[in-house]
């Protein structure tokens, strides 16, 4: 998890800096150029990466070392071959893709440059899947950091050398190639395979992998296909500088992912250990929704409150529409009190992959025509409206399934109190920054401090939390990695506000 956060910070910081340097027009070209590769990466998956992790872990645990060698070798050869074919196809047809699909024939050279990222992505994800299966998380972290640093350093150097969008795309492709190369190298160096022949042929191994992975892939293909449909409509109907503003806004989704990533990592194995009918399941779900909401919603509202000042500090005046796009985009994260992340991981943890797929399918059925209607007419606002509306239909389906099959639903009273606390903090922050009308940096500091203090005061006033729940939250903080010290400090302050006995230190 630390590697995910570290690599995300490195890449996000560099990409934001580059976006500021090159301007909205050039950054829009960079954003559009990545679309063909992202589509190829979606096709490339086939569920093989998930299957590789699963069977590597299974065979390693069962001591089937000979079959394990076959799984890794067959998967990597298959992925490398498929990825090479897709990369060459994009490179060879770059002129057609640029002129007919992107409607920007002048971006042909960028499509050629980004094509190599597909091959690197295949090798990189294959290696990461093997490392997770072997529980070699140190190597997984190292490979991720190598890829992130390569992308960040090369992008910075090439853009400052004046290569613009081409330099950014070249850095993007090179980072995947470097990550994939070192990933495969580390597999060959640090994993010792048995020299004996396995009991399963390569053909049967591939059949087993695909039989397991394709159903999982179907759900991701539906979701990913919908995203690519949005992107396609965007390239056909939105001016490139406006796309640059939108791409710059999306970069700030990483601020929310710092919160949601560790929560998701903690919740999935937690729900995986429970079964339908377990009397603790409802309590576990209610607690996970409550704690996720308490952390995520304040972050979302705080960034919305400070969006214009944040954009001015980070990007300058070259992105006039980014602040409003960012504010609307963050609404997509504001539904955690209605289930959000915990609901998704509850479904997956119970093994109900069919429910997850049907939820994605329902979202696609609504999102595809809605985007076709809204994006040509309202451009980026149409995309944002679709991103907010379509997933809610999938949410309704999963909520109905949960109520019918598990016998419970969201604790509406608890969620309402947390939302009320967050909006009171938003009101306090808005009042403070508008009364004083300070510069951007001072406003960011004043708004953040006012919002946080008001939120901590509002939580006990709205009866959104009690002392026992703070104790539970402190236990949750043990598994969220590098964010734990900050989280525990806030909990300690909150505990004083509700006049509850202080937390006891764990016995060493």
Distances (CA, A) of 493 to 157, 417, 420: 44, 19, 20
Average pLDDT for residues 259-274, to the nearest whole number?
Answer: 59
Average pLDDT for residues 399-420, to the nearest whole number?
Answer: 86
320 vs 473: CA distance, rounded Å: 40
Element spanning 113, H or E:
helix 108-133
Lowest-pLDDT choice from 18-27, 88-97, 183-192, 349-358 = 349-358
pLDDT score, position 256: 73
At 180-192, the pLDDT tens digits run 999 999 988 887 7
Which is nearest to 121 in space by CA: 185, 44, 58? 44
pLDDT score, position 507: 42
Average pLDDT for residues 467-485, to the nearest whole number?
Answer: 62
212 vs 217: CA distance, rounded Å: 9
Of residues 374 and 228, the one with the higher pLDDT is 374
Encoding tokens for residue 116? 């190599």
202 within 8 A of 81, measured Cβ to Cβ:
no
N-to-C CA span, the chain? 25
Please give the model's pTM, rounded to 2 decimal places.
0.70
Lowest-pLDDT choice from 80-84, 323-327, 481-485 = 481-485
Element spanning 261, H or E:
helix 253-272
Confidence of residue 508 (pLDDT cuts 50, 70, 90): very low
Of residues 140 and 216, the one with the higher pLDDT is 140
pLDDT surpassing 60 at residue 85: yes
pLDDT surpassing 90 at residue 52: no
Average pLDDT for residues 30-42, to the nearest whole number?
Answer: 87
pLDDT score, position 272: 54
Reported residue count of the chain is 508
- 465-495: b or e for each residue (b if 16 or more CB lie within 10 Å)? beeebbeebbebbeebeebeeebeebbeebb
pLDDT surpassing 90 at residue 250: no
pLDDT surpassing 90 at residue 428: yes
Confidence of residue 164 (pLDDT cuts 50, 70, 90): confident
Mean pLDDT, the chain, integer: 81
pLDDT surpassing 80 at residue 240: yes
Of residues 433 and 275, the one with the higher pLDDT is 433
Lowest-pLDDT choice from 363-367, 432-436, 503-507 = 503-507
Q: Can you spell out the DSSP letters for 163-218?
A: -HHHHHHHHHHHHHHHHHHHHHHHHHHH----SSPPSS-HHHHHHHHHHHHHHHHH
pLDDT surpassing 70 at residue 2: no
Give percent above pLDDT 90 in the chain.
Answer: 20
pLDDT score, position 499: 61
439 vs 462: CA distance, rounded Å: 32
Domain parsing of the chain, residue ranges? 1-200, 215-227+352-410, 413-497
Average pLDDT for residues 440-465, to the nearest whole number?
Answer: 88
pLDDT score, position 440: 87
pLDDT score, position 261: 61
Average pLDDT for residues 459-469, to the nearest whole number?
Answer: 77
Return the top range by mean pLDDT from 36-45, 224-233, 346-355, 424-433. Answer: 424-433
pLDDT score, position 255: 65
pLDDT score, position 506: 45
pLDDT score, position 181: 93
Query: Cβ neighbours of residue 75 under 8 Å, at least 6 residues apart?
Result: 48, 51, 52, 126, 129, 205, 206, 209
At 276-332, the pLDDT tens digits run 777 777 777 877 788 788 888 898 899 999 988 988 888 877 788 889 999 999 888
């Amino acid at each position: 998890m630390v590697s995910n956060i570290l690599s995300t910070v490195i890449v996000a910081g560099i990409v934001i800096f580059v976006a500021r340097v090159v301007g909205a027009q050039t950054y829009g070209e960079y954003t559009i150029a990545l679309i063909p590769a992202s589509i190829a990466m979606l096709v490339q998956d086939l569920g093989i990466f998930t299957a590789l992790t699963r069977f590597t872990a299974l065979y390693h645990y069962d001591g089937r070392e000979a079959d394990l060698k076959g799984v890794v070798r067959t998967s990597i050869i298959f992925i490398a071959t498929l990825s090479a074919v897709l990369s060459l196809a994009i490179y060879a047809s770059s002129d057609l893709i640029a002129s007919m699909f992107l409607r920007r024939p002048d971006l042909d050279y960028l499509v050629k440059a980004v094509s190599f990222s597909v091959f690197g992505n295949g090798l990189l994800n294959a290696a990461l899947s093997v490392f997770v299966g072997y529980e070699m998380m140190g190597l997984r972290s190292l490979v991720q950091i190598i890829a992130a640093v390569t992308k960040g350093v090369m992008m910075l150097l090439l853009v400052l050398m004046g290569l613009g969008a081409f330099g950014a795309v070249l850095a993007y492709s090179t980072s995947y190639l470097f990550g994939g190369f070192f990933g495969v190298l580390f597999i060959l160096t640090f994993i010792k395979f048995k020299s004996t022949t396995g009991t399963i042929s390569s053909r049967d191994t591939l059949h087993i992998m695909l039989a397991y992975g394709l159903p999982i892939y179907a759900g991701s293909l539906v979701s990913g296909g919908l995203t690519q449909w949005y992107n396609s409509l965007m390239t056909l109907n939105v001016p490139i500088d406006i796309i640059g503003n939108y791409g710059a806004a999306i970069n700030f989704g990483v601020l929310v992912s710092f919160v949601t990533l560790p929560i998701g990592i903690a919740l999935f194995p937690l729900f995986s250990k429970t079964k339908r009918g377990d009397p603790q399941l409802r309590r576990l779900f209610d607690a996970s929704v409550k704690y996720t909401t308490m952390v995520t919603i304040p972050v979302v509202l705080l960034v919305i409150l400070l969006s214009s000042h944040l954009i001015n500090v980070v990007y300058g005046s070259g992105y006039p529409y980014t602040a409003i796009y960012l504010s609307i985009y963050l609404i997509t994260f504001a539904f955690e009190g209605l289930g959000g992340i915990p609901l998704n991981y509850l479904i997956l943890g119970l093994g109900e992959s069919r429910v997850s797929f049907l939820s994605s399918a329902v979202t696609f059925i609504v999102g595809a025509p809605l985007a076709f209607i809204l994006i040509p007419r309202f451009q980026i606002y149409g995309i944002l409206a679709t991103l907010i509306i379509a997933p809610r239909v999938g949410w309704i389906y999963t909520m109905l399934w949960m109520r019918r099959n598990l016998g419970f639903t969201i604790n509406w009273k608890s969620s309402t109190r947390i939302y009320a606390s967050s909006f009171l903090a938003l009101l306090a922050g808005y009042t403070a920054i508008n009364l004083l009308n300070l510069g951007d940096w001072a406003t960011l500091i004043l708004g953040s401090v006012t919002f946080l203090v008001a939120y901590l005061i509002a939580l006990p006033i709205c009866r959104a939390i009690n002392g026992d729940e703070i104790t539970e939250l402190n236990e949750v903080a043990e598994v969220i990695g590098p964010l734990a010290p900050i989280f525990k400090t806030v909990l300690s302050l909150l505990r004083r506000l509700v006049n509850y006995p202080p937390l006891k230190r764990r016995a060493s």
